[in-house]
Amino acid sequence: MAGEKHVDHSVLVRFAQERVNVDKDEAKDRRRQVNHLRDRLEQHVAANPDFDLVKLRASGSTAKHTAIRRAKGKGSDADVAAYLRTTDLNIDESTLLEWLRDRCAEVYGKTKIAGDFEISQHAVGITLHGSGLKIDVAPVLYEGEDDDKGYLVTRDGDRVLTSVTMHLRFIQDRRNEAGPGYLELIRLLKAWIREAKRADTHLRCKSFLLELIVADLWDNGWNGTPLQVNDYPAAFEQVLSYITRTQLTEPIAFSDFYTRSEIATSSDAVQVWDPVNPDNNITSRYTETNRQRLVDLAGDALDSVTWAAAAPAKGTAIDAWRQLFGPTFPGV
């Protein structure tokens, strides 16, 4: 289409490099902060005998290379999985998050206040005001299984099977097949959602959901066409069309580490299954309203991308993409 030459793959590549991808200095700072926590946490866990610290593993977006650059004036996230072994069989596992929060607070001592440590569903979030970094430390109960399999413990004390190693293998296998564009496409989609959340604080769309939508489209294509990881405007159109057409009512699941027959029965509004745990719908807490809000957002974004492809002038095409990425697009 005539407008494609105005905002083509190269334009989005430059935008990703200049505004989305984590630069070397930021990556170095993240590693420094995480390494400090890891080194000190080992000491404080060892001094508290309820749990043994088996190992600490980088996890989440930073480990997967799908993290995005922090927005101006905003923090960013790093994730650490703390593999712990229970030393007392009578201990109440529902207290694990509070126990880990206290250990993290000991690491930083008087340099931080209680409000800088926040317990979420299955992690302890630590806000570092100087750097703007937020580190999420997820305790994983480890019982000696292969591939770093262990159990996240929720605030209610429920166990959720997970594996940092298997999650990394899942995304790395697809990146190896698709090339580096696979991960950069995910980062661009995350930048789109971050911008959308600025305008709509009620929007719900976790990074892991975007990763699994991209994985599903890489595995299966869309409308008979492979996911265009080397043509970002086309890939965006595919992802947005998928969300809009399916309305996110079709289950997403994978067979890398289990058979589809093992997937739990569910009536959840959105069903996207953790690729290492057939009992874990990662969107189980999404309501019908959450689903429809995300579908509506994708529909509006799809209209903008389609209009940009046919736009007669460069400025018009850029304005259409700014509906997705904000006023800094294209970043040059």
The pLDDT tens digits of the residues spanning 60-82 come to: 898 999 999 887 545 457 899 99
- Residue ranges of the chain that CATH labels 3.30.460.90: 24-163
pTM: 0.92
Q: Could you tell me the CA-to-CA distances from 224 to 14, 180, 217, 219, 303 in Å, in that order?
A: 29, 23, 10, 12, 21
**Torsions phi, psi of 212, nearest 5?**
-80, -30
Q: What is the mean pLDDT of residues 293-303?
A: 98
List, in sequence order, every beta strand (DSSP E) within 11-132: 51-59, 76-86, 117-119, 124-128
Evaluate if residue 188 carries a pLDDT over 50: yes
Note the pLDDT of residue 128: 87
> What SS3 state is found at 80?
strand
Q: Say which CATH architecture domain 2-20+167-325 belongs to.
A: Orthogonal Bundle (1.10)
pLDDT band at 164 (very low <50, low <70, confident <90, very high): very high
The pLDDT tens digits of the residues spanning 222-247 come to: 999 999 999 999 999 999 999 999 99
Evaluate if residue 29 carries a pLDDT over 90: no
Note the pLDDT of residue 3: 37
Half-sphere exposure of 105 (CA within 13 A, CB side): 13
Taking a C-beta distance cutoff of 8 angstroms, is the pair 235, 213 a contact? no
The pLDDT tens digits of the residues spanning 93-147 come to: 888 899 999 999 999 988 889 999 999 989 999 998 877 788 999 999 998 899 9
Q: What is the mean pLDDT of residues 192-214?
A: 97
Token pair for 119: 């317990």
Token pair for 81: 């999985």
Cα gap 78→126, rounded to integer Å: 10
pLDDT band at 1 (very low <50, low <70, confident <90, very high): very low
Note the pLDDT of residue 130: 76
Q: Say which CATH architecture domain 24-163 belongs to.
A: 2-Layer Sandwich (3.30)
Amino acid identity, position 153: V
Terminal-to-terminal C-alpha distance of the chain: 24
Note the pLDDT of residue 70: 80
Name the percent of the chain in helix, strand, coil, to the closest 5: 50, 15, 30
Q: Which residues contact 332 (CB under 8 A, 6 or more apart)?
A: 14, 15, 18
> What SS3 state is found at 314?
helix
- Residue ranges of the chain that CATH labels 1.10.1410: 2-20+167-325
Cα gap 123→152, rounded to integer Å: 9
